[in-house]
Structure 1
Amino acid sequence: MPDALRLPFDEPASFFVVVFLAILVGPILARWVRLPAIVGLVLVGVAIGSGGAGLLQRDGTIELFGTAGLLYLMFLAGLDLDRESFARERKGALVFSLSTTVLPLVVTTLAGMALGLEFLAAALLASAFTSHTLVTYPTVQRFGLAETRPAVISLGGTLVSTIVALLVLAVVAAAHSGTLGPVFWLSFVGGIVLFFAAAFTGLPRLAQWFFTGLGTDRTVRYSFTLAIAFGAALLAEVLGIEPIVGAFVAGLALNRFVPGDALLMERIQFLGSSLLIPIFLVSTGMLIDPVELITDPEGLVLGAVLTVAAVGSKVLAVYPTRAVTKLTRSEIGMMVGLTTAQAAGALAAAIVALDIGLIGVTEVNAVVLVILLTCVLSGALTERFARSIPRPDRPTPKIGKTVVVPIADSNRGQQLVEVAAAVARRDSGVVVPLTVLNFDAAPDEVERLRDELTSEVESVALGSGADLRSMVRIDVTASAGMLHTAIESGASSILLGWKGYAARSSSYFGEDTDAIITLSPVPVLVCRPADLAPSRVVLDVIDRDFSPVARPTTQLCVEVGERIARHFGVPFVVLTDQHPDLVRQVVHEEVELVTDERDSLQSLPDRTVPGDIVIGGMPPTRAGLDRRASQLARALPGRTLLMVSGR
């Protein structure tokens, strides 16, 4: 018989055939019997492992891919976590973190002691069930619930419970070996402090430097992001912290650099959802040997008791959280599903206990049974309750989240994309350069324009730290195509090029600028770019900007000015003919304020120089650009003029 066909398969071709067939068949079989796809992958792992058909052995390769999948799962969870949502739910996350850590630890320890285990052995086993693995997080993502309150609170609880479980495991092992002392505590606490300091201060700076310098190619950015994810896991392990904590924290540190709707995020999710995470689930199933479990009655009893204790304590843990957060029954059910599953981490803790002589093989078999039962239960609960939770309403996006930039002229297009990237950078947003063609455009012309558009402006946006997604579309008119794109792409703002002519309807986009401003559902920035490098950002504030209806637009102008000034590394100055106390109501104290009693049409030419970026607000009571915009354009040659219309 050829070596490639000998069991267990270890040749590359036969190995990957079995792995990919398992990934393919598992979800299909699960749907046939009305089980979640995740459960199907775990059960297929049981079937093909050494305790089943023996097709694969859970050794080097599958274990490596499985561990990578677990780290990848936690990294994705960190990338998905909205920091603002987490800040809003910090009270609920704190309560849940305490309850989902303390209750399982106490209940499972008592259950183990009731079955005859010594205190240290029971406590170490309890540490395995104190934490949990987000096995069903892909289900939450599939239902579009990753930003909901129960998901955010569960992620907070996962981070805390994993660290506490690690602490208990380390303390019990040190106590058993007699090394529990000041040196142990100093190294453990010091490692945690050092890791979090490096992750939350060093990683963002490193990512910012890389994305605006070397990382102007998406493939390079992708490789860098994965290197950071696994590098953080390695650093955590070196410092005595669980690698999954490192991967999760790396996701948190990088999530503002990887927009959820960017191509980079799509690539990251694709590798995880199609390969690494399914292999992790299959490898989890391969831990289980059904024959050994059935022939060990004592292990079955212990496993059943520990399962009841672990699951019951996780259920109890959500009730203090419900009292604080007022979550619905379905939301609580989804939290239970998310935080119930145990996986390879629990087995790792059991093996540590076995190696130091605290427990025997029977207890390890019991842990394996807990892994099987909790994975099946977790998958069923999450799928059941996620179906009844409505998707959250999308909040009003920040102005830089998705900036649509209509482009007709390639030279000016690069200047506009640079300004759009300056607006988008703070939000790690996406710049969408857009060209609209008439219905008579040939298919090869569409492809040619798309390639030209991407090659000309991609490096500008990526080099500025923003992501880019070029679009060429066909529509009845250019303005209709732009507005349709803005709505379909969930635009947060539109940046229009403008020639600054007295005929205000003339724009680079070739359509009526006023109509676009009037019909746009999001803020519109109208830009007359200059050829000189930016030297300052000057905000023009006049009396009309302080009326009740205009104040939101004025505040938006301040935000846009601060973003652009920070992006180009130039000063931000406010020029006004109003009283400073009035202006300070909308302008931060650290911003330089220059008062000139003359009308800004006279003061701006004297107070600015070619290369300055001059920003002004458009009256919300007027449908489009007003006469003042054209006057400013004529009075300020060599300056970039940016008129802002709020919504």
Structure 2
Amino acid sequence: MERISQVLAIEPTAQVLSKEPIIAFAILLVVVLIVPILFERLRLPGIVGLVFSGVVLGSSGWNLFDPESPIINLLSDIGLVYLMFVTGLEVDINRFRQRKQRSLGLGSFTFSVSLAIGTLIGRFFGFDWNTSILIGSLFSSYSLLAYPIINRLGIINNEAVSITIGATFFTDIGALLILAVCVATTQIRIFSFVKLIPLFSWLIIYSFAILLGLDWLGKEFFRRSGDDEGNKFLFIFMSVFIAAVSIQLTEVEKVFTAFLVGLAVNEAVGEGSVKEKVVFIGNVLFIPIFFVHLGLLFKLPTIFNSIKNFQLTLLIVIGLIFGKLIAAGLAKIIYRYNWQETLTIWSLSMPQVGTTLAATVVGYQVGLLPITILNSVIILMLVTAILAPLITSRTAVALTTSPVSETTSLTLAAHQKEEPPSTFTIVVPVNNPQTQQYLMEMAALLARQSHGRIVPLAIATSTANMDAPQLELSLQRSERLLAKATAQSRVFGLKAEPLLRIDDAFAPGISRAAREQNASLIIMGWGKRTGLRARLFGNVIDNVLWASHCPVAVTRLVDSPKKIQRILVPLENLTAPALQPVQLAQMLAEANQSQVTVLNVCDRRTSSSKIAARRSHLSMLVSKIAVLNPPEIQIIPHENVVQAILQAARLYDLVVLPFIRSRTIVGSLTVSDVTTQLARQLTCSIVMLGEPQGHQNGTLLTNVSNNIKSV
């Protein structure tokens, strides 16, 4: 009786949700907001939480949502198209071009081995050739779920990592092309390979038309739009609309078309705030709802209702994992990579999220794939999404502690051979009177140590009307701030060169002025994210970091920089480009006669010999930039990097952190940012040093060291 009453209580709820779309949408928003946060606290990917929520809310759980509900289907379809559009938008074409041959080689190994294993599994369980080949294509692609890990470790330029990133260009296109062909062949009554020739020809012509046409149109439109981010933003959404329209006109599978459109506008959009906003909206709304809907489709009982279904799921998971390992092994043999690089390739190519899930859902919707395959692929996604980042975090760390390579030596030698740069210039935006004093003190200390100059910058924002009363008030306020900054610089015996600029917004005004002044460093005060607009589209600091040509030091100073005596610099990766925070800390330390400590946190199980090797390697790297007063080196074994740094920071006045902006990809929710956690919990002064986009090559280190040598 209790069970019957529970069912009766649930049924009306499901009916109400189906009749009231706004209630269903509200519940989905709550799930999308809360569940990923909870799962990340448990150190599980947010994507896993979203799929799990769908399972709980669907027929396998509380049965609150009907997967066939029109509102949920609509939002899920938008998320599916958006997912593939973003996948194409995120493909790193430049990295593919840099190592084209090896990227194609690794892509071919991964694609062919995975396709063969998946096809054999399909045939073994009695599926026809069309379905079996489609199952194989699901194995052949992969998502760079662990990209934030390798980005944070600074090993993106490692050749093995780089070709794994570039190979996604080949595997994604191949997998989606097979999907399009398999779906199209379902319309052919009598199958023959001869009938595939016009189909392939049409797909190739259609693909080139989208890629070349939209690529030219996108570049031309962006060139004519100038700095109007609103029009650029709308153009990208128009591209998605074009994908939707062409689906109806050409009957080409929607995920394939959406991917092509994303790939077509990839270079036109580039890296910047416009791309970040487009991807952000998809990642916080439409794509998460697609993952929730995927959980609604999951039928848990079908996996365990027969031994055959359980064996199918188990074999799919094992086949995928070993297939990617075989492909990585082939790359090791042919390209002579070491085991750490091989295992990193394997772990990076393991996650099955974006293209795999999209193709699976499409195959299920058109009737090519049964529910058992859909369930198995969902479990495959959950396993690889959890397992792959864990393996990457362990194997990729070894790539950061390799001896100073020939590449690093050549890079340092190239730095020494560069022409002496112009005067080291520090631009200090002065907009907040409360932080201006400490910002000017910090700039003065660095400028005096590097024999550079200070440019206090005030931005007077204005619309198109130059006679507006608001502009006059803004100019007067800016002049007062600049006068105060000039007076503050005289205390340090430095002559400031104040600059007043009229611009339509703070961030582009700062970036343009810094470029015009050939700035070596921008020093800014802390900016909190307040209000809905800042959360959706970022604040001034975010936009400056995207657009700046030089490093940006974001400061939160709780006391005068002149009083700083002990400086802590946590380093997560032991590579030469990661030493920019050490260089900045060393400049400040020499100006204040203070001491710098470089901290590296390793795994608790690291042996004493490996700790000694890490200390020796780090000392050798640091000696390149601090000869007279080298920093103290500390290696701490600990299971939690954040807690170890927080404990050590209690004894220091300032912590200098690297600010590495991760690409906003589908898997970006899975990895927490150590810098973000530290910034929230540290109580001492903080400086976060962010390198400009695409210039992680030791900019600050080179400019400062060469400038001091030339004096």
Of residues 344, 356, 360 in structure 2, which corresponds to 1:331? Answer: 344
Note if contact 2:51-2:293 (Cα within 8 Å) is conserved in structure 1.
yes
1:380 shift after superposition? 1.2
What is the Cα-based RMSD across aligned positions, in Å?
Answer: 5.1
Q: Relative to 1, partners in 2 of residues 1:222 and 1:370: Cα closer, same or farther, differing over 3 Å?
A: same
Question: Match for residue 362 of structure 2?
Answer: 348
Contact persistence 1:124–1:353 (CA under 8 A):
no
Match of 1:51 among 60, 78, 98: 60
Secondary structure class of the residue paired with 2:387: helix
Q: Deviations 1:195-238 (Å, cap 9, x if unpaired)?
A: 223322x2233223323446763222211112213424653675
- Alignment of structure 1 residues 431-470 onto 2, 5 Å: 437-438=481-482, 440=484, 453-455=502-504, 469-470=508-509
Aligned runs of 1:420-499 on 2, under 5 Å?
A: 437-438=481-482, 440=484, 453-455=502-504, 469-471=508-510, 483-484=521-522, 489=545, 491-492=548-549
- Structure number with greater CO (CA < 8 Å, separation at least 6) is 2
Q: Does 1:162 align with 2:175?
A: yes
Contact 1:51–1:291 (CA under 8 A) maintained in structure 2: yes
- CA apart distance, 1:365: 3.0
The structure-2 alpha-carbon separation of the partners of 1:312 and 1:279, relative to structure 1 and needing over 3 Å to count, comes to: same
- Number of residue equivalences: 445
Per-residue CA deviation, residues 603-632 of structure 1 (Å, 9 max, x unaligned), is: xxxxxxxxxxxxxxxxx9xx99xxxxxxxx
- Residues 112-132 of structure 1 deviation map (CA, whole Å, 9 limit, x = unaligned): 3333444455344434x3444
Give the Cα–Cα distance (whole angstroms) in 2 for the partners of residues 377 and 435 of structure 1.
Answer: 59
Compared with structure 1, are the counterparts of its residues 229 and 134 closer, same or farther at alpha carbon in structure 2 (3 Å cutoff)? farther
Q: CA deviation at 1:182?
A: 4.8
CA 1:454–1:479 in structure 2 vs 1: closer, same or farther (change >3 Å)? Answer: closer
Q: Does structure 1 conserve the Cα–Cα contact (< 8 Å) formed by 2:324 and 2:349? A: yes
Amino acid at match of 1:207: G
The 3 A distance-change label for structure 1 pair 180 and 472 is closer
SS at match of 1:9: helix
Return 5+ residue gaps in structure 1 as ranges: 355-362, 397-403, 415-433, 442-448, 459-467, 495-520, 522-619, 625-647
Corresponding position of 1:94: 104
**Equivalent residue, structure 1, for 2:681:** none
Matches within 5 A, 1:147-226: 148-149=161-162, 151-166=164-179, 169-170=182-183, 173=186, 177-178=189-190, 180=192, 182=194, 184-200=196-212, 202-213=213-224, 217-226=228-237
Relative distance call for 1:165 and 1:20 in structure 2 (3 A) is same
Amino acid across the alignment from 2:63? G
Q: Offset of 1:178 from its aligned partner?
A: 0.6
Three-state SS of the structure 2 residue aligned to 1:256 is helix
What one-letter code is carried by the residue in structure 1 that aligns with 2:386? Answer: A
Deviation at 1:173, TM superposition (A): 3.0
Match of residue 242, structure 2, among 219, 231, 238: 231
**What is the match of residue 266 of structure 1?**
276
Partner of 1:318: 328
Distance of aligned partners of 1:231 and 1:472 in 2 relative to their CA distance in 1, 3 Å threshold: closer
Tell me the distance in 2 between the aligned counterparts of 1:285 and 1:143.
31
> Displacement of 1:187 after TM fit?
3.7
The one-letter code sitting in structure 1 at the alignment partner of 2:90 is: D
Paired residue type of 1:113 = R
Which of 371, 375, 378 is 1:372 aligned to? 378
Paired residue for 2:125? 115
Per mean C-alpha deviation after superposition, the further-off stretch among 376-385 and 5-14 is 5-14
The CA deviation at 1:137 is 7.0
Deviations 1:549-601 (A, max 9, x none): xxxxxxxxxxxxxxxxxxxxxxxxxxxxxxxxxxxxxxxxxxxxxxxxxxxxx
Closer/same/farther in 2, CA of residues 256 and 56 from structure 1, 3 Å limit: same
Aligned to 2:313: 303
Does residue 134 of the first structure (1) align with residue 143 of the second (2)?
yes
Report the CA distance shift for 1:215/1:323 in structure 2 as closer, same or farther (over 3 A): same
Name the CA distance, whole Å, in 2 between partners of 1:435 and 1:76. Answer: 44
Q: Is the 8 A contact 2:109 2:330 kept in 1?
A: yes
Match for 2:238: what amino acid?
A
Deviation track 1:89-145 (CA, whole Å, cap 9, x = no partner) reads 222321233223322332233233333444455344434x34446383786698588
Q: Provide, for residues 218-268 of structure 1, a one-character-per-residue CA deviation record: whole Å limited to 9, x for no partner.
A: 2222111122134246536754544333333333332333342x3312311
Q: How does 1:584-603 map to 2 (within 5 A)?
A: none
Residues 63 and 100 (structure 1), Cα distance of their counterparts in 2 relative to 1, 3 Å cut:
farther
Call closer, same or farther: CA 1:285–1:12 in 2, change over 3 Å.
same
Q: Does 1:243 align with 2:254?
A: yes
Name the aligned partner's letter for residue 109 of structure 1.
T
SS in 2 for 1:338: coil
Deviations, residues 421-440 of structure 1 (Å, cap 9, x unaligned)? xxxxxxxxxxxxx9995373
1:81 shift after superposition: 3.5
Output aligned runs, 1:249-288, within 5 Å.
Answer: 249-260=260-271, 262-288=272-298
Rounded Cα–Cα distance in structure 1 between residues aligned with 2:291 and 2:380: 13
Given residue 223 of structure 1, which amino acid in structure 2 is its aligned partner? L
SS in 2 for 1:453: strand
- Say if 1:192 and 1:285 are closer, same or farther in 2 by CA, change over 3 A: same
For 1:237 and 1:136, the matched residues in 2 are separated by 32
Say whether the 8 Å CA contact 1:450–1:471 is kept in structure 2: no
* Cα 1:77/1:142, change in 2 over 3 Å: farther
AA aligned to 1:110 is L
* C-alpha separation in 1, matches of 2:11 and 2:40: 35
TM-score (norm 2): 0.52
2:300 is matched with 290
Partner of 2:435: none
Write out aligned runs for 1:569-584 (5 A): none
Relative distance call for 1:34 and 1:492 in structure 2 (3 A) is closer
Instruction: Give, in angstroms, the shift of residue 31 of structure 1.
Output: 3.4
Structure 2 letter corresponding to 1:204: D
Conserved 8 A contact 1:123-1:172: no
Query: With structure 1 as the length reference, what TM-score do the two structures score?
Result: 0.57
